[in-house]
Amino acid sequence: MLALSACTGPPPPPQVDAFQNIYNQSSASVPSDVSMTLGKPVAFITSENVERYIGHLKNSNEYWASVVPSSLTNTAIIADMDPTYFSHQILAMLKRHFPTLQYVHDFREAVSTGKKGAVLVDLRIKYMDPYGDRTYKIDIDAYFFDTAMNPVSKLNGHSEYNVPFAAMEVKFQAHTDEAIGQLEGKINTYIH
């Protein structure tokens, strides 16, 4: 068993409710695909899952760099799993729709800096199991909050990919782009 776990690297972090440590409510109670007008300027908040994911990728890259000689490093997968890719892509897409978008740590900061609306982004990943279900799923949820900072609508972008055995990459960037594209389509439809 030790040999098998050494082949998979550090385990992914446990995923939590999108509102954990940010908002005093469960994200499950937010209705999906509800039309609303988002107040501006807009606050941008990331969930604990996003922060944990970025940390996990950094830790995984450090782990593999410590156990694999540089001459054998799979640079394609390291590039594909760049921890900043998701952040840059989601921020660029949101800024196209909400040019006044500004990152804040929490709702208290959003209110104190005069934001009139907020979007909280959550990332849920079902990692593939190298010795079982090889399906890799990405769900990007965006929760939109009104001027009173109450959640009004949840929009989702989804992508999945069955990773072939002995694949040298998981095509994370392509599937991140697909999920963000779905989310952007829903923003065009539901958020005004």
- Stated as kind and residue range, the H or E segment containing 6 is helix 2-8
Closest CA to 94 of 56, 144, 60, 135: 144
Split at pLDDT 50, 70, 90, the class of 6 is very low
Given this model, what pLDDT does residue 117 score?
A: 97
CB within 8 Å of 19: residues ≥ 6 apart: 25, 26, 27, 47, 120, 143
The whole-number pLDDT of residue 115 equals 97
| pLDDT value of residue 63 | 79
pLDDT in tens, 157-190: 999 988 777 666 668 889 999 999 999 999 999 9
**pLDDT confidence tier of residue 16, bands split at 50, 70 and 90:** very high
Nearest-CA neighbor of 94 among 55, 146, 38, 31?
38
CA-based angle 56:159:51, to the nearest 5? 25
**Tokens standing for residue 25:** 């409510």
> What pLDDT was estimated at residue 56?
77
Higher pLDDT, 148 or 63: 148
DSSP 61-101: HHHHHHHS-GGG--HHHHHHT-TTHHHHHHHHHHHHH-TT-
Residue 113: helix, strand or coil by DSSP?
coil
User: Percentage of residues in the chain with pLDDT exceeding 70?
Assistant: 90
User: What domains appear along the chain, each with residue ranges and CATH number?
Assistant: 34-190 (3.30.160)
Question: Looking at the predicted structure, is the pLDDT value of residue 3 above 80?
Answer: no
Residue 7: pLDDT above 90? no
Q: For residue 2, name the pLDDT band (cuts at 50, 70, 90).
A: very low
Q: Evaluate if residue 99 carries a pLDDT over 80.
A: yes
Main-chain phi, psi angles of 138, to 5 degrees: -125, 130
d(CA 73, CA 160): 26
Query: What mean pLDDT is predicted for residues 78-105?
Result: 89
Predicted confidence band of residue 61 (pLDDT cuts 50, 70, 90): confident
Summarize pLDDT for 103-116 with one digit per residue, the tens: 999 999 999 999 99
Asked if 161 and 171 touch (Cβ cutoff 8 Å), the reply is yes
CA distance 24 to 19: 7
Q: What is the mean pLDDT of residues 16-42?
A: 95
In degrees, rounded to 5, the angle at the alpha carbon of residue 13 between the alpha carbons of residues 12 and 19 is 140
